[in-house]
Amino acid sequence: MKKVLITGANGYIGKCLYYFLKKKFKIIGIDKEKSPEKKIFQCDILNKNKLNKIIKKEKPEIIIHLAAQSLVDETINKKKYYNNNDKATKSLLEVVKKNNIKKIIFSSTAAIYQQSLKPLKENSPIKALSTYAKTKLLCEKKIQNEKNLRFIILRFFNVCSALNKPIIGEFHNPETHLVPTLVYKAMFNKKIYIYGKDFNTFDGTCIRDYIHIKDICLAIEKSIKYLFKNNKSNLFNIGNNKGLSNKEIVDYVKKKTKKNLNLKYVQKRKGDVSKLVCDSNKVKKILGWTAKNSNIKKIIDDEIKWILKLNKIGLKRKFKNYLS
Ligand SMILES: NC(=O)c1ccc[n+]([C@@H]2O[C@H](COP(=O)([O-])OP(=O)(O)OC[C@H]3O[C@@H](n4cnc5c(N)ncnc54)[C@H](O)[C@@H]3O)[C@@H](O)[C@H]2O)c1
């Protein structure tokens, strides 16, 4: 069994991936936050000595690099993005090189693309506006510049929902993503704010590309297999190929929860475009991956199961202000 190291293994995607891949590979993780899992080591990637000790001892054959300052919020100190994304990736790459590891998968983001109403392809124009996107792009370049490393860069669109076995999902503090915010607030009768109903779309609300976490895990699993089989680097968009409007999600949540939502449409935010959707033909062709779990029914139904579990164990979601 191949040994796989996940960085950021205590985060949303990392934790889900850890359990998803456990039956198929020998999995270890690292995260700067403490985890109850004994194979997830507490280590800040910036601490090169500690990182090197773990990697030297554990000898993973491939790294899935998910650790990042991932919340997109320009009020967060820019240094946090440069440290946890750019500098941490540099530190990781040095340790990877030292230990002769030849394969890496990196989680990048659709936020690096210039906004466009057309579906975004891997070769669509790049324009990283946020500090988050700028630092993710720097990481991509660092990885691409490593001569002896084979890599897959995955540019994720909006990751959402939860796994079923075990039931595990998103728990950010504060929560800023649409699906977990909307479903939670609907279930617990809290005030919901939606940005904008005057976008240039069929129902006036903005359209984004949502990807079920199970499809993200499957894309990473296929990327691992591709790297071991072909030993070639590549870069893919990971999205659904079609979007969902905020109103479509609201309507489904309303129907499913049978609640009268306490919902208000507020002014759209500066810079928000009408539509951001992925063209995922390349990944379909090369990895044979499609977003087969990313339909609205499965996304919302699985999120509800996860919220019921959170409620059972007494965990409450926290929100900064409005929905995003
Ligand atoms: N969730 C999404 O919708 C989405 C979309 C596009 C890209 N991504 C990317 O996917 C990856 C995972 O996203 P997520 O939603 O799970 O994020 P997350 O914030 O839930 O998890 C990130 C984890 O990385 C850890 N971490 C941060 N800096 C570290 C460091 N210096 N050393 C060790 N650990 C560190 C954090 O403690 C956290 O547990 C990130 O790279 C993110 O940029 C996510």
Active site includes 322?
Answer: no
Q: For 302-311, write each residue's pLDDT tens digit.
A: 999 999 999 9
Indicate if the pLDDT at residue 89 is higher than 90. Answer: yes
One of 132, 195, 210, 252 is an active-site residue; which one?
Answer: 132
Identify the residue with better confidence: 77 or 297: 297
Mean pLDDT over 190-200 rounds to: 93
Give pTM, 2 decimals: 0.96
Counting runs of H as helices and runs of E as strands, what totals does the chain give? 10, 16
Contact between 206 and 199 (Cβ < 8 Å): yes
Beta carbons within 10 angstroms of residue 260's beta carbon: 9
pLDDT at position 76, please? 74
The stretch 36-46 carries a mean pLDDT of 96
Domains of the chain with bracketed CATH: 3-178+193-312 (3.40.50.720)
What is the pLDDT at residue 71?
A: 81
| Both structure tokens of 112 | 């690096």
Three-state SS for 318?
A: coil
pLDDT digits (tens, 9 = 90+) for 219-242: 999 999 999 999 899 999 999 988
pLDDT at residue 74 is higher than 80:
no
d(CA 225, CA 221): 6
pLDDT digits (tens, 9 = 90+) for 104-154: 999 999 999 998 889 999 999 999 988 999 999 999 999 999 999 999 999
Distance between Cα 99 and ligand 1 center (Å): 24
Q: Kindly report the backbone phi and psi dihedral angles of residue 211, in degrees, each rounded to the nearest multiple of 5, phi listed first.
A: -125, 125
Which residue has the least CA distance to atom 7 on ligand 1? 109
Ligand 1 binding pocket (C-beta < 6 A) is 8, 10-14, 31-33, 44-46, 66-70, 84, 88, 107, 109, 156, 158-159, 172
